Amino acid sequence: MSIDMPFGADVYLAVILFCLGACMGSFITCAADRYVAKESVLHGRSKCPVCGHTLSALELIPIFSWLFLKGRCKNCASPIPVRCFFTELLTGLLYAAVYLKFGFSFVTLEYLLLFSALLAVALIDYDTMEIPDGLTLFGMIVFLLFLYPHSGSVGALTERLKDGVLGALVYGGGTLILSLLMDFALGKETLGGGDVKLFGMLGLFTGLKSGLLMILASCIAGLLFALSVRKGRKKEFPFGPAIAVSAMFTLLVGQEIIELYLELFHLILFQ
């Protein structure tokens, strides 16, 4: 269920959501950094981590401040990580994409909350190789809170709940069994507990059918990520960013991809 908007209003709202997303991206980067540094996530002003210079309002404008400052602190010229810039840009684009796909609706709000948590998961897992349980729990709460507004009727709610619980059991349970088998075969921890819980939570959102696409996309993204980003580094690579990206991809365009695939399959079989 979404409220129909005239084309101009749609474009206007997409731009507003891009700006909102860019601000949210800035907040997520800052919150993730503070979480990793074991500082209070919500309190305190933003500072340069090197010289402690408190950032002015102008230095806090998402995307643009990084460009104007040419990626360096105004006070001590130490580099500001380029990922701040990219997270802000990516979050802005994601917010606009969610709005353009799901319109002025509760589903949009639901996915904006979920995607924000997933971006934090990706950043924190990249830095610490751990996924905070709080973020996975947050996703589960969002699913339950939006169950009725997303479904729109009691019948649809029951269907969505059934499919979601099945998705959580199959993809959470499936990855748990797989990780135990792989741990046993390789004699070391392969998939972390955080990854398994994250798959379970995301199974709620994807349900049974789209969940398969999420798992497949996660494996491909994980492989590409392991090959490119961690090239030359012997450290283990975190799987969370790949899962987060794949889940967002699945929820945004999964339905279309599955339909296209089935159509192709049908064409090949019955031509």
Residues interacting with Zn ion, by CB under 5 A? 48, 50-51, 53, 73, 75-76
Residue 73 or 117: which CB sits closer to Zn ion?
A: 73
Residue 76 or 223: which CB sits closer to Zn ion?
A: 76
Provide, rounded to whole angstroms, the least separation between the CB of residue 74 and Zn ion. 8
For CA atoms 108, 152, 256, 208, give the dihedral sign: positive
Asked if residue 195 lies in contact with residue 239, where contact means CB atoms within 8 angstroms, the answer is yes
- Residue type present at position 92: G
CA distances from 129 to 8, 106, 236 (A): 44, 32, 8
Structure tokens at 261: 């695939």
Residue 16 or 51: which CB sits closer to Zn ion?
A: 51
Provide, rounded to whole angstroms, the least separation between the CB of residue 71 and Zn ion. 12
Q: What are the DSSP calls for 136-150, one per residue?
A: HHHHHHHHHHTHHHH
Provide, rounded to whole angstroms, the least separation between the CB of residue 44 and Zn ion. 16
Residue 236: which region, alpha, beta or left (left: phi > 0; alpha: psi -120 to 50)? Answer: beta
Residue 48 or 244: which CB sits closer to Zn ion?
A: 48
Residue 13 or 55: which CB sits closer to Zn ion?
A: 55
CA 205 to chain CA centroid, nearest Å = 12
Provide, rounded to whole angstroms, the least separation between the CB of residue 77 and Zn ion. 7
Provide, rounded to whole angstroms, the least separation between the CB of residue 70 and Zn ion. 14
Residue 75 or 190: which CB sits closer to Zn ion?
A: 75
Q: What are the DSSP calls for 51-78, one per residue?
A: T-PBPPSGGGSTTHHHHHTTTB-TTT-P
Provide, rounded to whole angstroms, the least separation between the CB of residue 80 and Zn ion. 9
- Residue type present at position 73: C
Provide, rounded to whole angstroms, the least separation between the CB of residue 43 and Zn ion. 20
Residue 51 or 223: which CB sits closer to Zn ion?
A: 51
Q: What are the DSSP calls for 210-228, one per residue?
A: HHHHHHHHHHHHHHHHHHH
Spatial distance between the Cα atoms of 197 and 211, rounded to a whole number of angstroms = 14
